[in-house]
Structure 1
Amino acid sequence: MHPEAEAFIRANLPVLPVPSIPEIRLHKAGPRSGLGRLDRMDEAFGAPYWAHHWAGGLALACFLLDHPAVVAGRRVLDLGAGSGIVGIAAARAGARDVLAADVDPYAIAALQLNAALNRVRITPVAEDLTAGDAPPVDLVAVGDLFYEAGLAAAVTTFLDRCLGAGIAVLVGDPGRRALPRSRLRLLAEYPVPDFGDATGGAAKPAGVFAFVPADG
Structure 2
Amino acid sequence: MDDQNSRDDAPDPAAFIRANMRIAAVPSVPEIRLYSAHPASGLWRLAADAEDAGEEPAPPYWAYQWAGGLVLARHILDRPETVRGRRVLDLGAGSGLVGIAAAKAGARSVLASETDRNGIAAIGLNAEFNGVDVRATADDLTGAAVPDVETILVGDLFYAADLASRVTAFLDRCVAQGVDVLVGDPGRAHLPHARLQLVAEHAVADVGTGSAVTTKPSAVFSFA
TM value normalised by structure 2: 0.90
Give the one of 126, 129, 145 matched to 1:117: 129
Distance in 2, matches of 1:105 and 1:39, equals: 11
Gaps spanning 5+ residues in structure 1: where?
none
The equivalences for 1:47-62 within 5 A come to 47-62=59-74
Is 1:92 equivalent to 2:100 in the alignment? no
Alpha-carbon shift at residue 42 of structure 1 (Å): 3.6
1:133: how far off?
1.2
Q: CA deviation at 1:196?
A: 2.6
Q: Which of 47, 65, 68 in structure 1 is aligned with 2:77?
A: 65
Which piece of structure 1 moves more, 89-98 or 187-196? 187-196
- The structure that has the greater radius of gyration is 2
- Counterpart of 1:59 in 2: which secondary structure? helix
Check if 1:206 corresponds to 2:218. yes
Answering whether residue 40 of structure 2 is matched by residue 28 of structure 1, we say: no
- Please point out which of 92, 109, 116 is paired with 1:80: 92
Whole-angstrom CA distance in 1 between matches of 2:191 and 2:90: 18
Separation in structure 1 between the aligned mates of residue 176 and residue 80 of structure 2, nearest angstrom: 24
Q: AA paired with 1:143? A: G
In 1: Cα distance, 2:152 partner to 2:78 partner = 17
User: CA-atom RMSD, angstroms?
Assistant: 1.5
Residues 2-58 of structure 1: per-residue CA shift (max 9 Å, x gap): x81101100111000011221200000000001123323442542101101100000
Matches of 1:186 and 1:41, distance apart in 2 = 41
- Structure 2, unmatched stretches of 5+, are 1-10
Q: Which of 14, 17, 20 is residue 22 of structure 2 equivalent to?
A: 14
Give the TM-score normalised by structure 1.
0.94
SS of the counterpart of 1:95?
Answer: coil
Residue 161 of structure 1 is aligned with which of 156, 165, 173? 173
2:194 pairs with one of 148, 170, 182: 182
Which 4+ residue blocks in structure 1 deviate beyond 3 angstroms? 198-201
Give SS of 1:83's match: coil
Give distance in 2, aligned partners of 1:58 and 1:98: 17
Structure 2 equivalent of residue 191 of structure 1: 203
Matched residue SS, 1:137: coil
